[in-house]
């Protein structure tokens, strides 16, 4: 990485076809970087990312774009195009990549919007949507090209419990109905454990635990225990490294 910090070292993850795989970990462990590696937005200094038999780092721009056409991604904030309305946002990949007649585009877009429950919001602009609605529109856009792999970056961040439940069910039902491979990066352990087939917990640049929800719950590692149970203290410290508290309060240097 540019800052010279090593994000991953010795990371080894295998994601099964057709399953919902959760990738969890404390904030700042590079979960989003992992997604960028899978989609070829960044390259790794060492090691390999293989998607469906292709080493992502070895593909040229054209091949990466061809690979990305088989992927869909849901961004943390939706990343809808603000100058297009909901309908055109969902239609965007179809218009860019296909020459389908307008009638067919209309049918596909309305079907996908119906799947996320927002057929009635087709004429709204992204600014008029709530966070949860925006996320669902982005989801409709992500599935409009019928991808084989669907990647979710923090799909639950900032959502109210109802929207969260809706998105959660959508992830599972889309996965099963369309037979896609879902990769969900999140730190909402409780939510994702309801739907994930397989989970990986990443900390300090490598996988510290992996398995099904039940296996993780009984995992002996203290860091997994801390993460799954949401404890403030444990192997991942609550405090950022600092000088001794009393020394700093009693007039010593401000910074360690």
Q: Which is nearer to another protein, 40 or 189 (CB)?
A: 40
Residue 242 engages another protein in binding (rule: CB under 8 A): no
Q: Which is nearer to another protein, 80 or 184 (CB)?
A: 80
Minimum CB separation from another protein for residue 88, in Å?
A: 13
Q: List the interface residues with another protein, window 131-160 (CB under 8 A).
A: 138, 141, 145
Minimum CB separation from another protein for residue 70, in Å?
A: 9
Residue 69 engages another protein in binding (rule: CB under 8 A): yes
Residue 112 engages another protein in binding (rule: CB under 8 A): no
- Stretch touching another protein by CB under 8 A, among 92-100, 163-171, 174-182, 191-199: 92-100
Minimum CB separation from another protein for residue 239, in Å?
A: 27
Minimum CB separation from another protein for residue 162, in Å?
A: 25
- SS3 for the chain, per residue? CCCCCCCCCCCCCCCCCCCEEEEECCCCCCHHHHHHHHCCCCCCCCCCCEECCEEHHHCCHHHHHHHHCCEEEECCCCCCCCCCCHHHHHHHHHHHHCCCCHHHHHHHHHHHHHHCCCHHHCCCCHHHCCHHHHHHHHHHHHHCCCCCEEEEECCCCCCCHHHHHHHHHHHHHHHHHHCCEEEEEECCHHHHHCCCCEEEEEECCEEEEEECHHHHHCCCCHHHHHHHHCCCCCCCCCCCCCCCHHHHHCCCCCCC
Among 11, 13, 44, 92, binds another protein (CB under 8 A): 92
Containing H/E element for 50? Answer: strand 50-51
Residue 73 engages another protein in binding (rule: CB under 8 A): yes
Q: List the interface residues with another protein, window 28-47 (CB under 8 A).
A: 39, 41
- Stretch touching another protein by CB under 8 A, among 73-81, 162-170, 183-191, 210-218: 73-81
Residues of this chain that interact with another protein (CB under 8 A) are 39, 41, 65-66, 68-69, 71-73, 75-77, 79-82, 92-93, 96-97, 138, 141, 145
């Amino acid at each position: 990485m540019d800052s010279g910090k090593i994000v991953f070292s010795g990371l080894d993850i295998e994601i099964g076809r057709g399953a919902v795989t959760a990738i969890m970990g404390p904030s700042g462990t590079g979960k989003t970087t992992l997604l960028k590696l899978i989609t070829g937005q960044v390259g790794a200094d060492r090691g390999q990312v293989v998607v469906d038999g292709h080493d992502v780092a070895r593909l040229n721009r054209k091949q990466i774009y061809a690979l990305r056409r088989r992927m869909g991604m849901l961004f943390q904030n939706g990343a809808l195009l603000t100058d297009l309305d909901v309908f055109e946002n969902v239609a965007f990949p179809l218009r860019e990549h296909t020459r389908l007649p307008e009638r067919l585009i209309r049918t596909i877009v309305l079907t996908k919007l119906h799947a996320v429950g927002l057929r009635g919001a087709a004429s709204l602009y992204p600014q008029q949507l709530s966070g949860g609605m925006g996320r669902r529109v982005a989801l409709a856009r992500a599935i409009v090209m019928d991808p084989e792999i669907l990647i979710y970056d923090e799909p639950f961040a900032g959502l109210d419990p109802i929207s969260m439940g809706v998105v959660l069910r959508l992830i599972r039902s889309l996965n099963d109905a369309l037979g896609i491979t879902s990769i969900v990066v999140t730190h909402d352990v409780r939510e994702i454990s309801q739907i994930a087939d397989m989970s990986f917990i990443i900390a300090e640049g490598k996988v510290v635990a992996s398995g099904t929800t039940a296996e993780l719950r009984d995992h002996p590692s203290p860091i997994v225990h801390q993460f799954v149970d949401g404890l403030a203290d444990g192997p991942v410290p609550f405090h950022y490294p600092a000088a001794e508290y009393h020394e700093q309060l009693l007039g010593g240097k401000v910074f360690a």
